[in-house]
Amino acid sequence: MNKQCQVKLDRLIFTAVPRDKAGIENVAGFRRVSDFRPQPQAKLRTYERVLKLRCTTTSCEIVVQHDPQLPWLAPVRITIIGDDLTGVTPEIIDGIIAQCRHHTITLAELAIDFSPAAKVNREFVLRHGRFGKSRRRMDRGGPGTLRYGGRACPKLIRCYFKNALDCYRVEAEIHRSLLRKLGARKVGDLALVAMKLAPAHLKFACLRWRKLAAHLARKFGPEGRGICDEARLRAESSLRKALRYLANNGVHNPHRFLASLKINRNIREALRRWADEFAPDKVELLGKRRQSMSAARNT
């Protein structure tokens, strides 16, 4: 088992219809911390009360927003914040879901932790990171933190060093629109999300310099060498800068010159391992679907 990267479910948000309020307040293994009226943070107040529960053995927390103030809101909105070491485990989720008639997930945050042996850091992410269509936000994130996408986008990616675990963390905060696109509505569907996350929405790549240099030489002649050298210079600090420079200098679809790095295999293995532990039935079903589709194409 490769230990260079590990996956955890760091945070989960879902709306639900509880069987009764007392059941939500008495989740096994959690104690009630507070139940208060929050300060308004927007023009419209959404929920009147916020209930906080804390695990008796770890730092995991449950935040329950209840008493909705708008007719289209669900009776409760539940946020589970995982412990640094274990994340949000299936046992914790099952204890809460058992108290609800039905639920719908609205946000899932998967954390990929890279050990020092993986040699993934801020510079590595800048030079090789690709997160679908998400672009880096220069006005967001603190010192040393990289941020791609935003809260109004299908996903938000955060990259930073996690001091408590001595690892470099890449967090993929997946929002409702992308969850639906990936076919996720219930908690069990998160295994499918993990299986589909990489490489479409998270991968590391580099430019095939020989192939690119040959293309530039054919298209631009002697000037192609200068374009290639300038792209190399930009790629030292940012892959996106190099791709943008090539696109602005007559190279159509420069992404065709990208090569996937070996670390992507470790990421996919870690995501599959987490998905298999989280919801093995879903992973088995997806595998059978892929086998049947492959057999249909071969006939």
Average pLDDT over residues 287-293: 54
**CA atoms of 178 and 8, how far apart (whole Å):** 19
Q: How confident is the model at residue 144 (pLDDT cuts 50, 70, 90)?
A: confident
Output the pTM of the full model.
0.90
The pLDDT value recorded for residue 40 is 80
Report pLDDT digits (tens) over 87-102. 999 999 999 999 999 9
pLDDT, averaged across the chain: 91
Can you give the chain as a three-state secondary structure string?
Answer: CCCCEEEEEEEEEEEEEECCHHHHHCCCCEEEEEEECCCCCCCCCCEEEEEEEEECCCCCEEEEEEEECCCCCCCEEEEEECECCCECCHHHHHHHHCCEEEEEEEEEEEEEEECHHHCCCHHHHHHHEECCCCCECCCCCCCCCEEEECCCCCEEEEEEEECCCCEEEEEEEEEHHHHHHCCCCCHHHHHHHHHHHCCCCCEEEEECHHHHHHHHHHHHCCHHHHHHHHHHHHHCCCHHHHHHHHHHCCCCCHHHHEEECCHHHHHHHHHHHHHHHHCHHHHHHHHHHHHHHHHHHHC
- To the nearest 10°, the Cα dihedral for 239, 241, 242, 245? 160
Average pLDDT over residues 224-233: 96
The pLDDT value recorded for residue 284 is 55
Q: For residue 252, is pLDDT > 60?
A: yes
Q: For residue 165, is pLDDT > 60?
A: yes
Average pLDDT over residues 286-292: 55
Q: For residue 27, is pLDDT > 80?
A: yes
The pLDDT value recorded for residue 25 is 86
The pLDDT value recorded for residue 207 is 97
Name the β-bridge partners of 206. Answer: 259
Name the β-bridge partners of 136. Answer: 148
Q: For residue 295, is pLDDT > 70?
A: no
The pLDDT value recorded for residue 270 is 96
